[in-house]
Amino acid sequence: GAAELGPYRHYMQKEIFEQPRAISDTLEGVEGIVPELFDGADGTAAWRVFKEIDSVLILACGTSYYSGCAAKYWLEEIAGIPTQVEVASEYRYRTSVPNPRSLVVTITQSGETADTLAALRHAQSLGMQHTLTICNVATSAMVRECKLAYITRAGVEIGVASTKAFTTQLAGLFLLTLALAQSKGRLTPEQEAAHLKAMRHLPVALQAVLALEPQVISWAEDFARMENALFLGRGLHYPIALEGALKLKEISYIHAEAYPAGELKHGPLALVTSAMPVVTVAPNDALLEKLKSNMQEVRARAGVLYVLADADTRIESSEGIHVIRMPEHYGPLSPLLHVVPLQLLAYHTACARGTDVDKPRNLAKSVTVE
């Protein structure tokens, strides 16, 4: 009811603003990178499993699938572990090549999504017994059925469009990456300390990003008049572009698509006009220069750019280019910060269009039947 909402208009907005707290709760008690963080409730030891595995297979649906897509970049780059990410409803029905030494990781807010549970059982039936879940509900079927678990502490999520569950999943997946890196001898004590320090700073960093809300509201006024939008990202931020597009279509009913920026000229550029705003997630990483040339391609076709620029990129607002600058540069954890303005953009666009933000048409919070 209204009392629980406090100063917020909707649960989704409240949940977006709860993210600093959700992340600090999720990381509470994490003093160091130890496999014990992932031990199963029945006492299954994560370190034994981590020593045994040679690859990771991530299975999930919806927003949880996108957090898995981001984790793939971390797992391959930081832990050096070959990683596959698959939509649960696809994996469960196709013929695949099982690897008994793979760690099967399910990601699920509810722990009850029918396709994700079925995909887990399918993997088990193929002889894959090393299973781990990143889940927000400790009492769920998924936690019962996986050997290992990391319980995120987002708290109850009511808005159908997932927000705080996503960022806490990313925090859990980053910890998993570090724990696997360590068990493969790929994490020095100095690196461990630096990563932990960055993680502990996340709540403060998130608070600073939330303070960008007024700037995002002015973008949302433009988006509310559009029927299409394109989201571009590269590398680790491509899954964030996907998640930004999903949020927008779920609650504002604007058709939104995300592309890895390098694919622009292989199709979506044909659609770019002044009626097709292009959101660009532009972190200050190795691919920035390439992203800048993608942005020029959009401008050359009168496309209007909305750029989430990293703190130390020198991208400035100009004719047809709207820039929101992120407060600080965040290295590998930057997806957790860049997604927040995209959540706010979807939220405020939906509010401006007057849709039912917390209960979008045709969608359910938890899809427990196929």
Question: What positions carry a catalytic annotation?
Answer: 365
Backbone dihedral region for residue 185 (phi beyond 0: left; psi -120 to 50: alpha; all else: beta): left
Q: Return the exposure string of 88-125: e unless at least 16 CB atoms fall within 10 Å of the residue's CB, then b.
A: bbebbeeeeeebeebbbbbbbbbbbbbbbbbbbebbbe
The single-letter DSSP state of residue 318 is B
* Distance set, CA 220 to CA 18, 144, 214, 273, 336 (Å): 21, 42, 10, 18, 21
Torsion of CA 162, 235, 34, 49, to 10 degrees: 90
Nearest to 250 by CA among 110, 167, 349: 349
Closest distance of CB 233 from ligand G6P, Å: 19
- Of 302 and 363, nearer to ligand G6P (C-beta) is 363
Tokens, residue 330: 């965040």
365 binds ligand G6P per the rule CB under 6 A:
yes
- Of 108 and 349, nearer to ligand G6P (C-beta) is 108
Closest distance of CB 65 from ligand G6P, Å: 8
The site map against ligand G6P for 161-180 (x = CB under 6 A) is -x------------------
Closest distance of CB 154 from ligand G6P, Å: 11
The correct pick among 20, 35, 40, 62 for binding ligand G6P (CB under 6 A) is: 62
* DSSP bridge partners of 84: 57
In whole angstroms, what is the distance from residue 178 CA to residue 183 CA? 9
Strands (E), 76-141: 83-87, 102-108, 131-135
160 binds ligand G6P per the rule CB under 6 A:
yes
Closest distance of CB 360 from ligand G6P, Å: 8
- Of 37 and 135, nearer to ligand G6P (C-beta) is 135
The correct pick among 64, 102, 131, 280 for binding ligand G6P (CB under 6 A) is: 64
24: exposed, middle or buried (C-beta count within 10 Å: 0-12, 13-18, 19+)? middle
Which strand (E) or helix (H) includes residue 186? Answer: none
Which strand (E) or helix (H) includes residue 352? Answer: helix 334-353
Closest distance of CB 11 from ligand G6P, Å: 13
- Of 191 and 366, nearer to ligand G6P (C-beta) is 366
- Of 160 and 178, nearer to ligand G6P (C-beta) is 160
Stretch that binds ligand G6P, among 93-101, 220-228, 297-305, 360-368 (CB under 6 A): 360-368
In this structure, how many other beta carbons lie within 10 angstroms of the beta carbon of residue 223?
Answer: 23
152 binds ligand G6P per the rule CB under 6 A:
no
Stretch that binds ligand G6P, among 57-65, 214-222, 227-235, 284-292 (CB under 6 A): 57-65
292 binds ligand G6P per the rule CB under 6 A:
no
The site map against ligand G6P for 75-114 (x = CB under 6 A) is ---------------------------------xxx--x-
- Of 159 and 283, nearer to ligand G6P (C-beta) is 159
The correct pick among 27, 49, 61, 276 for binding ligand G6P (CB under 6 A) is: 61
228-233 β-sheet, strand order = 255-260, 228-233, 278-282, 305-309, 321-325
Site residues for ligand G6P per CB under 6 A: 61-64, 108-110, 113, 116, 160, 162, 363, 365-367
